[in-house]
Chains A and B, each alone.
Chain A
Amino acid sequence: MNDELRYLSTRVTKGLMSRRDFIGRAAALGVTAAMANAMIASQVRADGPKKGGTLRMAAQGGSTTDSLDPALATNTVALQAARFWGEPLVELDDDGGITGKVAESFEGSDDATTWRFKLRQGIAFSNGQDVTAEDVVETLDRHAGEDTKSGALGLLRDIQDVRADGDTVEIILKSPNADLPYLMTDYHLMIQPGGGKDDPTAAIGTGPYIMKDVDMGVRFVAEKNPNYWGDLGNAETIEMLVLNDNTARVAALQSGQVDLIDRVPPRTAGLVARAPNITVHQTSGPGHYVFIMHCNTAPFDNNDLRLALKHAINRQEMVDKILFGYGSVGNDTPINASYPFYTEFEQREFDPEKAKFHFDKAGVDGPVLLRTSENSFPGAVDASALFQQSCQAAGIPLEIKREPNDGYWSEVWNVQPFCTSYWGGRPTQDQMFSTAYQSSADWNDTRFFNEQFDQLLVAARAELDQAKRTQMYADMGTLLRDEGGLICPMFNDFIEASSDRVAGFIEGVKGFSLMHNYAPMRMWVV
């Protein structure tokens, strides 16, 4: 960077010069506004985090019906709120690895059936109580118990026993699992005093903030936990508004009422980014939009029909027109580069010839019925229409039935043989596959029953050799891609935006949206 520009950008961050003036001067030196903004941002970052102030954010997905009980968290707002006050045993790091939270370190036995988590010394819950191994045992017990409603129940099914041993928690599994630490990062599994059995909604944990004011579906206020053990949490106060309406959320950012928002609609992200004081952040993640066929239901039990439809979809067009470029093409497996043991396959392309060949071979007569609804993923109805057109090019008659949003997840998805849907993804292949593609999976929404796949899944779970494991996942990916019921045209990026009142957004953090929901704690008020 040119010396003069560097000098000017420090003046801006010190408040001696306005951003508008800076952009003007930068333009005179032949620098575009976008680059000038990036310069200021990097200068702000170089100055380092500032403590104090109120960070105001707005998020989508909250509802008045939410609960502070982490076991019942189902949407991003509930998850975000849980991150303020609570912490799991371990957490994903920026690159998708594992880092300690309540547990300082962990180790698995050689056969990956026994895992020991050593707790961090001298940390306390926000009510002053010390964290003990019993609290962890009770927490896991509450989520795995007989009468639990916890969203984490499915993850904990393979646990045989959890034991407290001094400051260590020992987890014994029914079958080997090399990914157990990943399961412990689940956001439902916030460690609570006594496991939260007495008062699951107390919002008491070891997190960097303490909930001050909670109005479900409306507003959350969290204040810095003065006794937090780590260095998370720059703002003194975080105020999170629930703004479910896209336009309202973007307007709140534009009018300066909030500093950070999630889920900028792809359609308007380009316009939002044009404002000089707003930066749009694009992060690729494991989330994907899908068309799913039941492999055991006629006519989709015919693999030729499945292949025909897989060849008849124009993936790039979907990314361009449905995601407006904020995403990447899929390859008919639920896995992309955001997973740890990813292997790239040859990309399946839109090929009307091949599609026609397989369709004729399948010998299906009459149109293929696809069900969709506006809430199955943003733009699902439009995507279905695009699919219909590309099918037409291959001579496949596709009929679209639009279903009501209301009741879609109970009446259509996982019930009807061909419909649109979405997946948020999981941190590891093992979780994604055992959630939705294993024969016995709870949500085997493609009715994929493949013995070889199941065997590979179990074998890979116990395999500690990374290279062998990568190869197994590659083989499973090939099976899914060529025989499965999943048509995955696109992976959607997370699109978030922040104003220049805050700084510190780190691009490319793995996990959920908003830097795995740590953005409000890691960013700071300028």
Chain B
Amino acid sequence: MMQLLIQRLALGLLLLILVSILIFAGTMILPGDVAQQILGQSATPEALANLRAELGLNEPPLTRYFDWLGGILTGDLGTALTSGRSISEDIGRRLSNTLFLAFWAAVIAVPLAIFLGLLAVRYKDRWPDKLISAVTLTTISIPEFMIGYVLIYWISIQLGWFPSVAIINDGMSVWQKLDAIAVPVIVLTLVVLAHMMRMTRAAILNVMQSAYIETAELKGLGMLKIIRKHAFPNAIAPIVNVVMLNLAYLVVGVVVVEVVFAYPGMGQYLVDHVSKRDVPVVQACGLIFAAVYIGLNLIADLVSILTNPRLRHPK
């Protein structure tokens, strides 16, 4: 098992390096150049030339790649070209905001999705199953910004329960922060619910076809007990997989929700720097997003291994 673990980790690292090469190459072929984007429409040629020289845009790309990789390995992400601030510091703050939002969305969405999935299995093909599927599939089908606007209209403007702007800052207490992010948390929950719920339902239904479930039924066990004790443990692997995919989405894919609620997370930070061609920041964000994705998938793999005796004790 140790060997399997190490294998997975090594694979993850290799993937990260490949991703770093891709990110670096990708940012090189974007149209336009940094100096023009920073100074905007009203840049004079002299100002442009001055800025280009200062930003070191005249160095060869290979040199810049290895300088960059070396910096990351020593924990230094460099400074942003546009503002001259430390990228590690800025990303630290933004990432913790993103994780804060993702955490609360996950805390609500994951248990709710699994519970609804179990409920749907219990009442398979009856009205609760159909209702749950219909509602969650509707919310996943509507674009998230649309759900955001609708909820802003009802919850923030008409009812006045929670604010429409989710800007949080260090001066706020945890309760104030939770109040601020309430609406985006609801939006994110609605967006990720269906995927996890459907997967839970499908995975458990799949297990329910097995002979040992029939045996349990014949022994006279209750439906919920069968699901809980016999079906669910065997369905964990696919469920964890889909949960991790959705967690990854909550961290790296919520740009649109961030924009709608003006939430100061990683997404807005990345987009601002992409549009200004601030290459070091874009690369750092890309790498962090890739690391989150690969990391969460790694965890999903490990959980599948740990919960599956056949993988845990290979012959």
Interface residues, chain A, with chain B CB atoms under 8 Å away:
58, 63-67, 72, 74-75, 147-151, 153-154, 213, 215-219, 241-245, 247-248, 251-252, 254-258, 404, 406-407, 409-411, 413, 442-443
Contact = CB atoms under 8 A, between A and B. Distances in A.
Contacts of A410: 31-33, 36-37
Does more than half of chain A's interface fall in helix, strand or loop, or is it mixed? Answer: loop
Contact of A247 (B39, B80, B149, B278): B149
A63 B80 CA distance: 13
B164 A74 contact: no
B162 to A, nearest CB: 9
B164 A154 contact: no
Contacts of B153: 251
A406 B44 CA distance: 20
A65 B169 contact: no
A74 B82 CA distance: 12
Nearest to A56: B165
Interface stretch (B14-22, B230-238, B266-274, B291-299): B266-274
Given A248-B165, A410-B37, A218 B83 contact: no
A443 B41 CA distance: 9
A65 B80 contact: yes
Contacts of A411: 31-32
Interface string B40-66: 111111110011001000000000000
Given A215-B264, A258-B165, A404-B31, 14 more contacts: A58-B165, A63-B275, A65-B272, A66-B83, A74-B42, A150-B47, A151-B43, A154-B44, A217-B269, A219-B167, A245-B259, A245-B260, A257-B165, A406-B30
A454 B205 CA distance: 81
A410 B83 CA distance: 21
B164 A251 contact: yes
A218 B262 contact: yes
Contact of A406 (B32, B45, B260, B268): B32
B288 to A, nearest CB: 15
A409 B276 CA distance: 12
B26 interface: no
Contacts of A218: 167, 169, 262, 264
Contacts of B45: 442
B39 A149 contact: yes
A147 B90 CA distance: 28
B222 interface: no
Contacts of A407: 30-32
Interface residues of B, number: 48
B261 interface: yes
B164 A406 contact: no
A153 B44 contact: yes
B84 interface: yes
Nearest to B262: A243
Contacts of A147: 50, 54
A409 B160 contact: no
A74 B47 CA distance: 13
B157 interface: yes
Contact of A64 (B33, B43, B54, B269): B269
Interface in B275-301: 275-276, 278
A380 to B, nearest CB: 14
Interface of B: 30-33, 36-47, 50-51, 54, 80, 82-84, 90, 149, 152-153, 156-157, 160, 163-165, 167, 169, 171, 259-262, 264, 268-269, 272-273, 275-276, 278
Contacts of B272: 63-65, 217
B47 A255 contact: no
B34 to A, nearest CB: 10
A215 B169 contact: yes
B273 A65 contact: yes
Given A153-B46, A248-B165, A65 B264 contact: no
Contacts of B47: 148-151, 153
A149 B36 CA distance: 11
Nearest to A151: B42
Contacts of A404: 31
A450 to B, nearest CB: 22
20 contacts: A64-B90, A65-B272, A66-B83, A67-B83, A149-B39, A149-B51, A215-B264, A219-B169, A245-B259, A247-B260, A248-B259, A251-B153, A252-B164, A252-B165, A254-B157, A255-B160, A256-B160, A406-B32, A409-B40, A410-B33
B277 to A, nearest CB: 9
Nearest to A154: B44
Contacts of B171: 213
Give the 7 A-B CB pairs with smallest separation, nearest first.
A65-B82, A407-B32, A407-B31, A74-B40, A64-B272, A410-B32, A255-B156
Contacts of A245: 259-260, 262
Contacts of A241: 165, 167, 262
A502 B260 CA distance: 25
Contacts of A243: 165, 262
B273 A257 contact: no
A376 to B, nearest CB: 10
A248 B164 contact: yes
Contacts of B156: 251, 255
B83 A413 contact: no
Contacts of B259: 244-245, 248
A148 B49 CA distance: 10
A257 B31 contact: no
A63 to B, nearest CB: 4
A406 B264 CA distance: 22
Contact of A248 (B40, B54, B261): B261
A254 B149 CA distance: 13
Given A149-B47, A219-B167, A443-B42, A251 B83 contact: no
Contacts of B33: 410
A394 to B, nearest CB: 31
Contact of A251 (B37, B38, B157): B157
Contacts of B54: 147, 149
Nearest to A242: B262
Contacts of A74: 39-40, 42
